[in-house]
Amino acid sequence: MKKVVIIGGGVIGLCTAYYLVKEGHEVVVVDQSSMDHGASYVNAGYLTPSHFVPLAAPGVMKQGLKWMFNSASPLFIKPRLDRSFLSWAWAFNKSCTAKNVSQSIEVIKDFNLWSAQLFSEIKASEKFTFQLENKGLLMLCKTEKMLEEELHLAKIALDQGLEVNSLSPSEIQAMEPHANIDAIGGIHYQCDWHTTPHEFMKELQDWLVGKGVKFYKNERVGDLQTLNGEIKSITTQNNTFTGDEFVLAAGSWSHMLSKKLGIRIPLEAGKGYRINVDQHTGITIPAVLAEAKIAVTPMNGFTRFAGTMEFSGVNHIINPLRVNAIATGAGDYYAGLKVSEDEKILAACGLRPVSPDGKPYIGKSSKCKNLTIATGHAMMGWSLAPATGKLVTEIISEKKTSMPLDAFHPDRKF
Ligand SMILES: Cc1cc2nc3c(=O)[nH]c(=O)nc-3n(C[C@H](O)[C@H](O)[C@H](O)COP(=O)(O)OP(=O)(O)OC[C@H]3O[C@@H](n4cnc5c(N)ncnc54)[C@H](O)[C@@H]3O)c2cc1C
């Protein structure tokens, strides 16, 4: 049994804590926040084998540059004369290739499928009640160009063994009889699942507390004390924590801490927004509004609209123009839906930790023997959390990992 200190109590930290406890390790979680907001709470709750194309794909950087001066665009890259941003942008641009996409598809798809299975296993074995539904995901298109692109991706998905159907407008309407959908066609990915994030986060946290995991909230890890290539302790404003092993699951802040150990993991915060709509929408199946890049999720008791990827540094500033763009986009695809001013005012945001090549960092850097890094999951951190937690636990328990980790190595070059 080892004493493991996890830095970060988002979904990656909590799922890691879950599997570590299951293996009999003693676990402490330290988080700088109150652990009730941020990316792991505002996300769209998708488990996404369908999202097998990494963010770093051909044309994405070009699109980002085009939209640089459009404050309502779904992708926004704020240019900054900051060394860490510039080297990330350079590496991201280098990764936006067909080769990166083709090398990533199978890895990302298998990782997501396995993780969705683990979500089900956790729910069953702990008798959790959080929403976990397999209604699939609709890709709704309003233009021929987008439909063509989505049909091309659907063909790749079929070749990858995923269950996918293309749909006419009347078939879409038949699947969603109580929502008035305005789309010229779409795709149904039956392989996807959805959840209500805060339900899972709460049940998992309560379970961990019941198993003796100690949580230290509102404590920011500022320093890491090392000796002979190992962390001896970490310190917050109030405490010093010692351990045999440490896990860095600090989301969009992870690179700031790893830098203190001489470990360079290029990472940028990709801000996303969500609006919760309490009024009746009639929406029962999750959907991505393809041109507007909005994710729609029928959650337990409300409908969530989530979107935008805003690279503007580590901050939680809400840009009302982006919130409005999501609300307007929702009304464009679901005729008659009007997001209220109150719902817009209550919009929240979170930071996705984005690596340059769209793949997470999972594993140990050669520069520190007892630190396992688990971050950089970008748009898939929710979906991939259980599988990541299991892999981290296998590393710490010195077991053979359930899948090869070379593609996720924290020391990889871009
Ligand atoms: C709008 C939106 C929609 C999304 N939709 C989906 C989706 O449908 N499916 C999907 O798979 N993913 C989705 N994502 C992405 C997903 O939410 C993230 O990838 C995931 O939540 C990241 O989890 P994390 O634990 O790595 O980071 P976080 O949730 O950010 O947790 C990191 C934690 O570390 C703590 N921390 C940081 N620095 C320190 C420090 N120095 N000391 C102590 N604590 C520290 C922070 O307080 C934080 O609580 C979405 C994200 C957004 C924003």
User: Looking at residue 261, what is its pLDDT?
Assistant: 97
Q: Give the distance, in angstroms, between the CA of residue 327 and the centroid of all CA atoms in the same chain.
A: 22
Taking the centre of ligand 1 as the mean of its atom positions, its distance from the CA of residue 314, in whole angstroms, is 12
Ligand 1, atom 4, residue with closest C-alpha: 43
User: Looking at residue 65, what is its pLDDT?
Assistant: 80
The percentage of the chain sitting over the pLDDT mark of 90, rounded to a whole number, equals 92
User: Looking at residue 341, what is its pLDDT?
Assistant: 97
| pLDDT surpassing 90 at residue 74 | no
Ligand 1, atom 2, residue with closest C-alpha: 43
Token pair for residue 119?
């979500």
| pLDDT surpassing 90 at residue 20 | yes
Per the CB < 8 A criterion, the answer to whether 311 and 352 are in contact is no
Q: Kind of pairing, strands 302-311 and 294-299?
A: antiparallel
Per the CB < 8 A criterion, the answer to whether 187 and 164 are in contact is yes
The mean pLDDT of 302-330, rounded to a whole number, is: 96
pLDDT band, residue 308 (cuts 50/70/90):
very high
The mean pLDDT of 302-314, rounded to a whole number, is: 96
8 lines ligand 1 (CB under 6 A): yes
State the DSSP H helix or E strand holding residue 138, giving kind and residue range, or none if neither. strand 137-141
Distance CA 18, CA 4 (A): 12
257 lines ligand 1 (CB under 6 A): yes
pLDDT band, residue 182 (cuts 50/70/90):
very high
155: which DSSP letter?
A: H
| pLDDT surpassing 80 at residue 173 | yes
Token pair for residue 16?
């890691």
Residues near 40 by beta carbon (within 8 Å), at least 6 away in sequence: 10, 11, 12, 14, 197, 201, 251, 350, 381, 382
Q: Which of 376, 377, 373 is nearest to 362 (CA)?
A: 373
| pLDDT surpassing 80 at residue 411 | yes
Taking the centre of ligand 1 as the mean of its atom positions, its distance from the CA of residue 369, in whole angstroms, is 25
C-alpha distances in angstroms, 413 versus 107, 211, 406? 18, 39, 12
Coil, helix or strand at residue 130: coil
User: Looking at residue 124, what is its pLDDT?
Assistant: 98
User: Looking at residue 59, what is its pLDDT?
Assistant: 87
Distance CA 172, CA 289 (A): 13
User: Looking at residue 67, what is its pLDDT?
Assistant: 81
Q: Which of 200, 379, 383, 391 to mutate to test the pocket of ligand 1 (most atoms within 8 A of CB)?
A: 379
Mean pLDDT of the chain: 96
pLDDT band, residue 400 (cuts 50/70/90):
very high
- The Cβ of residue 70 has, within 10 Å, a number of other Cβ atoms equal to 12
Taking the centre of ligand 1 as the mean of its atom positions, its distance from the CA of residue 9, in whole angstroms, is 9
Ligand 1, atom 33, residue with closest C-alpha: 8
More confident residue, 245 or 76: 245
For 222-276, the pLDDT digits (tens) are 999 999 999 999 999 999 999 999 999 999 999 999 999 999 999 999 999 999 9
| pLDDT surpassing 90 at residue 178 | yes
| pLDDT surpassing 90 at residue 78 | no
| pLDDT surpassing 90 at residue 68 | no
288 lines ligand 1 (CB under 6 A): no
Residues near 259 by beta carbon (within 8 Å), at least 6 away in sequence: none
The mean pLDDT of 301-330, rounded to a whole number, is: 96
234 lines ligand 1 (CB under 6 A): no
| pLDDT surpassing 90 at residue 183 | yes
User: Looking at residue 71, what is its pLDDT?
Assistant: 74
353 lines ligand 1 (CB under 6 A): yes
Per the CB < 8 A criterion, the answer to whether 154 and 166 are in contact is yes
**pTM listed for this prediction:** 0.97
For 101-121, the pLDDT digits (tens) are 999 999 999 999 999 999 999
Hey, what amino acid is at 21?
Answer: V
Give the residues across from 247 on adjacent strands: 6, 372
| pLDDT surpassing 90 at residue 325 | yes
Distance CA 392, CA 374 (A): 7
The mean pLDDT of 117-127, rounded to a whole number, is: 98
251 lines ligand 1 (CB under 6 A): yes
The mean pLDDT of 367-395, rounded to a whole number, is: 98
Distance CA 377, CA 381 (A): 5
Give the residues across from 350 on adjacent strands: 272
